[in-house]
Amino acid sequence: MPILEVQRLSKSYRQMGGETTVAVGNISCQVEAGEFVSFVGPSGCGKTTLLMSIAGLIAPTEGKILVKGQEVSGPPANLVLVFQEFNKSLFAWRSVLGNVLFGLDARGKKRREAEGKAKVLIELVGLKGFEKHYPWELSGGMQQRVAIARALAYEPEVLLMDEPFGSLDALTRLELEDALLRLWEELGTTILFITHDIEEAIYLSDRIWVLSRRPSEIIEELRIEFPRPRNQVTTRGQGRFMEIRNQIYKQISNESRHE
């Protein structure tokens, strides 16, 4: 049984004038436990709406979401979302340790046990020594590491990530991609990732769904077979990598020409 199943999901908004915009068309997909899957699509294609619906933060207009076969309404307990805007999502009044403890606390862990676990997670995301710092004392990349540690502290079975590296500079981005892959391999959490960066999606994922423009629908499903652990130089340097990139790029740009 897939750990996460999206069935014929669509979301439309009523605008000020009374017109309805369809943000998410008709999306169905299945994610197996332990997979790393990505949605990739052009900006404004309704990716965030899709992920927010899966996270239970907004109600879909039609369709349903099943987690381990159970239909969910509202935010499911075994699923957590990492936002793109880490600076708005982190708790400025809590230290790094405090932010990570929040995740454990929300999972109902006892303080004593939690403190040890939080420190392990902080070390795992590479922030040892920064436990007492406040988020605003850290760089963007470090802040997003805190947000990831906080999310993992909640011990989700599925981690949803909404363009988590979208606002970081290119080098930090590569660094965090590798950090995320290491965590994923270590913890075995299922990850559903959203990005508009085609290469990032290929580098990270087992499977990619290419989304059309609004209203977004899946126009292609690709299985990425590069061996793991992946490497920023050798994996990205393969000819096959570029082939896949170009294929996805063409699909997305053809899409936009139709408009």
Partner 1 sequence: MSRAGQFNKTGWLVFGLFLLIWECGSRSSANLQLYIPPISQIIGALSELIFSGLVTTHLLTTVRRFLEGYLLAAVIAVSAGVALGYFRFAHSLLEMLIEFLRPMPSVAIIPVAILLLGIGDSMIVAVTVYASLWPILVNTIDGVRRIEQTLIDTGRTFGLGRRRMLWQIVLPAASPYIVTGLRISLSIALILVTTAEMVAGSKGLGFFILDEERSLHSSNMYAGIILVAVLGYALNHLFIALERQAMQWHRGMGVRETV
Residues that bind partner 1 (CB under 8 A): 52, 55-57, 75, 77, 79-81, 83, 85, 88-89, 91-94, 102-103, 106, 134, 136-137, 154
Taking the least distance from each CB to partner 1, the nearer of 65 and 222 is 65
Sign of the alpha-carbon torsion through 89, 93, 99, 105:
negative
- Nearest alpha carbon to residue 79 among 64, 91, 65, 67: 67
Q: Which amino acid is at 46?
A: G
- Nearest approach, Cβ of residue 83 and partner 1 (Å): 6
- Nearest approach, Cβ of residue 75 and partner 1 (Å): 5
- Nearest approach, Cβ of residue 95 and partner 1 (Å): 8
Task: Give the CB-side neighbour count of residue 133, counting CA atoms within 13 A.
Answer: 13
For residues 143 and 244, give the distance between their C-alpha atoms in angstroms, rounded to a whole number.
31
Read off the tokens for 117: 């676990």
Percent of residues in the chain assigned helix, strand, coil, to nearest 5: 40, 25, 35
Taking the least distance from each CB to partner 1, the nearer of 8 and 132 is 132
Taking the least distance from each CB to partner 1, the nearer of 92 and 120 is 92
Taking the least distance from each CB to partner 1, the nearer of 141 and 156 is 156
- Nearest approach, Cβ of residue 153 and partner 1 (Å): 10
